[in-house]
Amino acid sequence: MRFMLLVFVSVLVAGCAAQVPREVRSGEIYTRHAAEEEARGVMFAFVRSWRRAGDDAVLIEFNRNRYYLFELEPRCSREIPFAQSIALQTSTPRRIDRFDRIRVGSETCRITSIREVNMEAVQADLEALRQTLEPGRSTIETDVIHADDYSGGT
């Protein structure tokens, strides 16, 4: 009897696992569509928005719909999920490079790399993932990329 119960529970768990849509970590999807590292830094007029992009990175949208993935030193990973805002600390006005820093919460984080992100490709991936969802679900489980949220807050 116990063996039958164990088999039943195992089959039930396996069946439920097959119904869950594939999870995507936000950092993975942005990294997949990021270009090579920007060696000369990025010129910008203003920051339109930003969002968390995994544990050690943020995605920043600058003027003219230009998106960049900023990978930060690992010690900032504890602050990024809870940050309400970020601050760019640059040595040159209107230009940021990997020698500059980003303030996240109470931590000042060194930038380890800056890579431009192809947001059209990110959008296409998100649309493909939306089409693979279970009927009745409208969002993608991530940490957290929602079906309608890809550019973040201010």
Where in the chain are the domains?
23-131
Instruction: Examine the pLDDT at 137 and tell me if it is beyond 50.
Output: yes
Q: Which residues, 6+ apart, have CB-to-CB distance to 100 below 8 Å?
A: 41, 88, 89, 90, 91, 111
CA distances in angstroms from 97 to 27, 31, 64, 110, 125, listed in the order given: 20, 18, 19, 10, 28
pLDDT tens digits along 63-112 = 888 999 999 988 777 888 888 889 999 999 999 998 899 998 888 999 99
Contact 17, 113 (CB under 8 A): no
pTM here?
Answer: 0.71
Binning pLDDT at 50, 70 and 90, where does residue 139 land? low
